[in-house]
Amino acid sequence: MVESLNLKDSTGWRYSAWAALLISIMANFPVIDMVFHRVKEVEPNPRMQVHHLPELAFPGLLAQLLITFLFGYLLIRYLRNHQWNSRTDKDFQWTILLKVSGQFAIYFILMSGLILFTVHEVSWIISSVATRGLLVLISAIFLTNYMKIQSHREKIFRENEALKESNLQNQIEVLRNQLNPHFFFNTLNTLSYLISQDQAKSQLYLNKLSYVLRTSIELQQSDLILLTEEIKLAEAYFHLFSIRFGGNVMLVIHADDAGQYRVPPMTLQMLIENAIKHNVISTGQPLRIEIALDKGNKSLTISNNLQPKIDARGAGIGLKNLDERFRILAGRSPEISSKDGQFTVTIPLIST
């Protein structure tokens, strides 16, 4: 089993500091090696003249390491917080480039000034400092890109895990609704009544019930389905209630070109069931459920006239799961409102 990478501090100062320290040591490794070799050469003969010894002594080396470390640290932090990709504005790209160049220039001046007091070979200074600066720059770019990739992977991993958990909860909730004894009690009673009174309607009712149960289980294997398929299932599901409540419950659908969009399965079924469960339905108080597609806003609105039952109770699991699934799959949550005698849920749609 592959464990997820722990990048909790990948955007913090500790990760940047350790990375800058590693880069500083790598960039100055030749100088470190030269220092120790020169010190060994001088120790047997203290009177030996070594022209470059002051520049390569330990204080000078530590100063170079410190300057290189600060350059690497600030560069990593800046690049980490300012992402550059093909979608970045050109003016912003130039701003990043200029600031990075400015940091490089400051590093070059500080390092050159430090070495210039003891070494008067300008060509050696330029080649040594420029080489180390470029190595730090390339390493910083590589590390920041690696950090961004790993951070993105961890984000995707977390979202996938959240989606799996949400889908599992939704499957449990759907199966609970489907196998709810109260639901079966009402449907079987209605079916029993229809068999004795109207065999044609009873056969249609049985076909719709079989279709709803079979399709509901099949669609749980998909994260998204076509809106046309979802509407077809919702109509079959609503038919069971229309047989039970007659003309006291109505479903109106305005959804042309629904095949252009996708939604999580069982969305409409849950909202229809929620409307019927929590509202009074009678001859004097009929319930009207309306589904309307808004292609301009890429959304679907499900509304019903509000006439709540006094003893209506619910844990709110259905709406909570719905919100979580849309937040992950569509990037935004459904909008829920209850005003002017209407309960409305507006869900975002995902283009095919």
> Given its phi and psi angles, is residue 81 left (phi above 0), alpha (psi -120 to 50 degrees) or beta?
alpha
Judge whether 139 lies within some domain: yes
Judge whether 163 lies within some domain: no
Based on the domain organization, do 133 and 212 belong to the same domain? no
Three-state helix/strand/coil letters over 184-243: HHHHHHHHHHHHHHCHHHHHHHHHHHHHHHHHHHHHCCCCCEEHHHHHHHHHHHHHHHHH
Based on the domain organization, do 76 and 200 belong to the same domain? no
Based on the domain organization, do 193 and 332 belong to the same domain? yes
Instruction: Please calculate the CA angle 226-230-235 and round it to the nearest 5 degrees.
Output: 145
Judge whether 5 lies within some domain: no
Cβ neighbours of residue 330 closer than 8 Å, sequence gap 6 or more: 348, 349, 350
Judge whether 202 lies within some domain: yes
State residue 248's pLDDT score: 94
Instruction: Please calculate the CA angle 228-232-238 and round it to the nearest 5 degrees.
Output: 140
Strands 335-339 and 350-351: unpaired
Strands 261-263 and 342-348: unpaired
pLDDT in tens, 169-189: 676 566 455 545 555 676 677
Judge whether 78 lies within some domain: yes
Q: Place 293 in a pLDDT band, splitting at 50, 70 and 90.
A: very high
Based on the domain organization, do 101 and 245 belong to the same domain? no
Based on the domain organization, do 141 and 81 belong to the same domain? yes
State residue 112's pLDDT score: 76
State residue 49's pLDDT score: 43
State residue 56's pLDDT score: 47
Based on the domain organization, do 258 and 325 belong to the same domain? yes
Based on the domain organization, do 149 and 19 belong to the same domain? yes
Judge whether 269 lies within some domain: yes
Judge whether 340 lies within some domain: yes
Based on the domain organization, do 211 and 274 belong to the same domain? yes
Phi, psi of 191 (to 5 degrees): -65, -40
Overall number of domains in the chain: 2
In contact, 259 and 297? CB cutoff 8 Å: no
Last residue of a domain, one of 119, 153, 187: 153
Dist CA 291 CA 252 (whole Å): 6
Look up the domain containing 267 and give its range.
179-351
CB atoms within 10 A of CB 17: 15
Q: Is 94 helix (H, G, I), strand (E, B) or coil?
A: helix
Based on the domain organization, do 130 and 242 belong to the same domain? no
User: Does the CA dihedral 177-181-187-188 come out positive or negative?
Assistant: positive
Look up residue 11 and give its amino acid.
T
State residue 183's pLDDT score: 58
Size (the chain), residues: 352
Based on the domain organization, do 268 and 317 belong to the same domain? yes
Dist CA 110 CA 107 (whole Å): 5
Judge whether 74 lies within some domain: yes
Based on the domain organization, do 238 and 189 belong to the same domain? yes
Helix-strand-coil percent breakdown of the chain, rounded to 5? Answer: 65, 10, 25
Based on the domain organization, do 279 and 194 belong to the same domain? yes
pLDDT in tens, 236-264: 889 888 887 889 999 999 998 888 999 98
Q: Place 314 in a pLDDT band, splitting at 50, 70 and 90.
A: low
More reliable by pLDDT, 173 or 5: 173
- The answer to pTM > 0.85 is no
Dist CA 112 CA 325 (whole Å): 57
